[in-house]
């Protein structure tokens, strides 16, 4: 079994042959039955003017997932010629592949169009500390182009306290924080919408709603009918199969206080693994699992291949 470092290097050496300078089309074919991994990691060479925010917008990636996949690289001045990892390979979220699935821990939305063998995936801005986005089952109840915004009193009070008072109504246009489109959820007070700010997509920045890049929200709204289910989960650790191998993708766990250190990561991984009955005939490499948990880089890393043994859930993980 490769160490995590070797596995990443191998993955990148293959993906580098597929590098393209244009934006990634994040419509990905679904894997065969019984498999969970979609897309390919890519590498681009930074230009002098590039920032992680720019590269994220161009490739449908959020800011924090760019930072996690490129440890040690300055996100605001990577430097001309610096290889930049684009984390465009994903383990699909657990559960039914239908409707919209939002995974808070990876700041990402997945949409499975009915009757099509594809998934569309987009980065999201989610609720910041104190305004956390809910983990729940919902549906889209309305779609509104060019929405106006009536700021809730709680948000008006917050802005007033910061010396930035808001009007009672913000009309459609470039100053509207809802962007060009909003989709209302059945959970009162929550929306999926665009934004008048590019920075913040893929971060904890909102008052609980889900922010998208404007081109993404317009594309999604064109595909998604009213009544579509919206399943919101918080899964920092995802296990998946692909081509006879098993992968683990790790993200920084979230809690309402933003204190990731309070989470028992190893216990969370074991609990996630226990829910995957199909992995019980495998012998996991726990050294690699520990490295993946520590890295939290959002990249699917191989942790096992099919064997006739059983999963050995080491107490020393």
Span 60-111, pLDDT tens digits = 999 999 999 999 999 999 999 999 999 999 999 999 999 999 999 999 999 9
Mean pLDDT of all residues in 209-235? 95
Mean pLDDT of all residues in 29-52? 95
Q: In whole angstroms, what is the distance from residue 317 CA to residue 304 CA?
A: 16
Query: What's the mean pLDDT when you consider all of the chain?
Result: 83
Instruction: Please give the structure tokens belonging to residue 251.
Output: 């993200």
Q: Supply the pLDDT for residue 309.
A: 40
Q: In whole angstroms, what is the distance from residue 139 CA to residue 130 CA?
A: 24
25 vs 120, higher pLDDT:
120
Q: Supply the pLDDT for residue 22.
A: 45
pLDDT beyond 90 at 311: no
> How far, in Å, are 80, 203, 232 from residue 200 at the CA level?
24, 5, 19
pLDDT beyond 70 at 12: no
pLDDT beyond 50 at 4: no
Tell me if 183 sits within 8 A of 221, measured CB to CB: yes
Active site (catalytic) residues: 193, 209
pLDDT beyond 90 at 59: yes
- pLDDT, tens digit, 9 for 90 and up, residues 97-154: 999 999 999 999 999 999 999 999 999 998 755 456 788 999 999 999 999 877 666 6
Mean pLDDT of all residues in 241-248? 92
Lowest mean pLDDT among 191-195, 223-227, 301-305: 301-305
150 vs 274, higher pLDDT:
274
Helix (H) or strand (E) holding 214: helix 214-223
pLDDT beyond 50 at 261: no
Q: Supply the pLDDT for residue 157.
A: 66
Residue 310's pLDDT band, with cuts at 50, 70 and 90, is: very low
Tell me if 228 sits within 8 A of 112, measured CB to CB: no
- Prediction pTM value: 0.87
């Amino acid at each position: 079994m490769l160490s995590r470092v070797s596995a990443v290097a191998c993955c990148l050496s293959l993906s580098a042959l597929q590098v393209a300078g244009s934006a990634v089309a994040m419509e990905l074919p679904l894997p065969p039955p019984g498999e969970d991994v979609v897309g390919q990691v890519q590498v681009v060479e930074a230009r002098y003017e590039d920032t992680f925010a720019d590269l994220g917008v161009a490739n449908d990636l959020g800011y924090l997932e760019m930072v996690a996949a490129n440890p040690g690289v300055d996100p605001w001045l990577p430097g001309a010629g610096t290889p930049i990892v684009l984390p465009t390979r994903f383990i699909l979220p657990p559960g039914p592949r239908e409707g919209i699935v939002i995974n808070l821990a990876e700041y990402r939305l997945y949409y499975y169009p009915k009757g099509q063998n594809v998934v569309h995936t987009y980065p999201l801005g989610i609720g910041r500390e104190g305004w956390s986005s809910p983990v729940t089952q919902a549906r889209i109840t309305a779609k509104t182009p060019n929405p106006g915004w009536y700021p809730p009193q709680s948000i008006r009070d917050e802005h007033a306290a910061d010396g930035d008072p808001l009007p009672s109504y913000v009309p459609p246009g470039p100053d509207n924080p809802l962007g060009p489109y909003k989709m209302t959820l059945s959970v009162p007070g929550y929306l999926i919408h665009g934004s008048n700010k590019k920075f913040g997509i893929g971060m904890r920045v909102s008052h609980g709603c889900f922010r998208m890049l404007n081109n993404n929200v317009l594309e999604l709204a064109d595909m998604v009918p009213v009544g579509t289910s919206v399943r919101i989960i918080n899964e920092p650790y995802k296990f998946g199969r692909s081509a006879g191998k098993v992968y683990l993708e790790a993200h920084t766990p979230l809690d309402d206080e933003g204190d990731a250190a309070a989470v028992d990561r190893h216990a969370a991984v074991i609990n996630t693994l226990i829910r995957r009955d199909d992995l019980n005939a495998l012998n996991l490499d726990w050294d690699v699992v520990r490295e993946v948990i520590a890295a939290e880089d959002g990249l699917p890393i191989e942790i096992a291949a099919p064997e006739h043994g059983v999963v050995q859930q080491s107490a020393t993980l």
